[in-house]
Structure 1
Amino acid sequence: MILFIIGFFSGIISGLGIGGGTILIPGLIFFTTLSQHKAQGINLLVFIPTAITALFIHFYNKNILLKIAFPIIITGLIGALIGSMIAVNINSEMLKKIFAIFLFFMGIYEFYYKSSRR
């Protein structure tokens, strides 16, 4: 049952464009016996259908500027290749710490950026 709840909330966050991995990866780590590598691998697989679903809705509502999206896609693919090669060569504990630090700084950024824009 917990996997369904994690998946549901991860899907909602993905649909909002925030990134379902912020829910899915910690959820899998805390509530299963998966390693950080396996949780991140599952996150990448789950990302495909949820992203396609959200993409159709955002494309239909004209929320995508292709002129801006294509350069980001190309450089993102290069970054994903480099990042995945780094991730498979880092031990699970270090990867977990890097992910936690990333989430921490993104939370601080979102909190202060959103607060200062109001």
Structure 2
Amino acid sequence: MSEDLYPKATRELAELRHRLAPEAADAFRTFGEVVFKDGALPAKIKQIVAVAVAHVTQCPYCIQGHTKAALKAGATPEELMEAVWVAAEMRAGGAFAHATLMLDTVQRRSAGQG
């Protein structure tokens, strides 16, 4: 991760973030703990999903943190790479599917409706 673009996530910054909004910070931490516990989906799968989503949201901190958590939960590099490819297809698929909006606009404009 580029230190010029994204500062290192330090304990000092985490403590500052907590001091500025402790109730929200505590609620968010608790929310994360609940979400990533074993449930209908095992924690490993939830972390693999989180790695894929982090690639779609393009959060470098999330990519690193959830990759570490996924590996700790037993995910393999192959599983993580497949999840990233699924995320890439879904992101590209969204652009492809939304071409329908562009084509509809083109057709309406050509028909004098827009």
Q: For the pair shown, which has the larger CA radius of gyration, 1 or 2?
A: 2
Q: Where is the helix percentage greater, Structure 1 or Structure 2? A: 1
> TM-score scaled to structure 2, two decimals?
0.36
> TM-score scaled to structure 1, two decimals?
0.35
